[in-house]
Chains A and B, each alone.
Chain A
Amino acid sequence: MSDLAFLSMILGTSAAAGVLGALLGLGGGILLVPLLTLFFGVSLPYAMGASILSVIATSCGAAAGHLASGLANMRLGLFLATATVAGALLGASLVGVVPARALQILFGLALAYSALTTIRQLHVEVAESLEADPLAQRFGLEGVYHDQALGRDVAYHAIHVRRGVAVMFGAGVLSGLLGIGSGAFKVLAMDTFMRLPMKVSTATSNFMIGLTAAASAGVYFGRGDIHPVIATPVALGVLLGSYVGTRLIGHLRNTTVRKLFLPIVLYLAVSMLLRGLGLLR
């Protein structure tokens, strides 16, 4: 295979990861790392370096589009990012102190519970009007977006803000401890606990993941794990794909996005439980 064909295939794969990332609020690493290593034979450090770059590229492309369309709530993202980043700092300082496997089991169970909740509200388009949390009112954690699929404006506000912040903090601790991304946890905290519309949750997660990834990307760069030749098609593909994804999500229903998200949660729950039990490396 020629260099051009090889790089073009990586570009196409990255574009698909970007579309999925923009729709589901994920960085794309969950898809990119296995594909780059298993199908393209890229060494794991370079695949992980490309993955962290793809998180930032997804965030740039998707968050720009989502902020412009009103789907991403910047105040909500910044407010919750303080919990995630603080958790990540604590998690990073606890490496070797806290048993990571116990935490993996704990979060695997939490994800399994979230998957069940997601199944229960699979057909809920927008949560019924619930009383706004005083914290949500104080920090302006509310908004309105125009839903193209429903053909009307949808107003929303966060509830159970403390619970959502606690989940975000826990997700941050786990990501700091294990060095994993936490886009799925962010979406679940907003959708399941704070009862925000699914599309607002994924769009706001897209804004947040860029901030948290930026903290760790410098480490990969300093180690030389972001290889220029592999980084270019990945960044270009993901950026274009995520921008297309932001156009696509407007036409999808919240229930459709939730159905697309469910397999990811199930996969994460099972893999985290298996890792926690020592059955998967």
Chain B
Amino acid sequence: MNGAERMVSALLLIGGFVAVGLMLVGLVALQVRAARTAHPLDVRHVVEHREAGRSVDVFVSMPQIAHALARWPPQPVAIITAGIVVLLATPAAGLLAAMAAFARAGDRPYVIICAALLVMLVSGFFLRVGG
């Protein structure tokens, strides 16, 4: 395994576990809050009906998440969503790390390939590409 692969491997693993750690902390906090307020989550009802699901706080933008995390105590769902965002960003972070490693090694073709992929991924985000 060379330097680039070692760096990307570590980044993917750390990103994955940090994301899942945040999500778990948030879920436990959500359960504790539900138990304290005597309002059970009723997870099955929430996930079976999309409209019911949306009535539970579902954050869909970074400012919303930042605002909910800045409050004390932070909203449990915002902590889970922060974990989701970390997970979604991890592959792109891996790509950036690979590009940096290839640049350090002077491997121009792969720096260009990584840059092209990054441009396409960003374009894909705006074009709403599937798959």
Contact = CB atoms under 8 A, between A and B. Distances in A.
Contacts of B100: none
Contacts of B129: 85, 88-89, 91-92, 176, 215-216
A18 to B, nearest CB: 11
B47 A230 contact: yes
Interface in B4-53: 4-6, 8-10, 12-13, 15-17, 19-20, 23-24, 26-27, 30-31, 40-44, 46-50, 53
A53 B95 CA distance: 18
Contacts of A210: 12, 90-91, 94
B73 to A, nearest CB: 16
B109 interface: yes
Given A59-B91, A75-B110, A221-B88, A216 B58 contact: no
Interface string A112-139: 0000000000000000000000000011
Contacts of B6: 67-68
Interface in A233-278: 235-236, 239
A219 B129 CA distance: 8
Contact of A92 (B8, B77, B91, B127): B127
Given A79-B113, A215-B125, A74 B50 contact: no
A187 interface: no
Contact of B58 (A139, A178, A228): A228
Contacts of A236: 20, 23-24
A7 B28 CA distance: 12
A7 B43 contact: yes
Dominant SS among interface residues on chain B: helix
A4 B43 CA distance: 9
Contacts of B46: 227, 229
Interface string B67-101: 00000000001001101110111111011001000
Contacts of B5: 67-68, 74
B13 A64 contact: yes
Interface string B112-131: 01101100110111011111
A227 B53 contact: yes
Contacts of A231: 23, 80, 84
Given A70-B1, A78-B98, A227-B58, A60 B87 contact: yes
B12 to A, nearest CB: 4
Given A56-B87, A214-B92, A92 B124 contact: yes
Interface of A: 1, 3-4, 6-7, 40-43, 45-46, 53, 56-57, 59-61, 63-65, 67-68, 70, 74-75, 78-79, 81-82, 85-86, 88-89, 91-93, 138-139, 172, 174-182, 210-219, 221-224, 226-232, 235-236, 239
Interface of B: 1, 4-6, 8-10, 12-13, 15-17, 19-20, 23-24, 26-27, 30-31, 40-44, 46-50, 53-54, 56, 58, 60-61, 77, 80-81, 83-85, 87-92, 94-95, 98, 109-110, 113-114, 116-117, 120-121, 123-125, 127-131
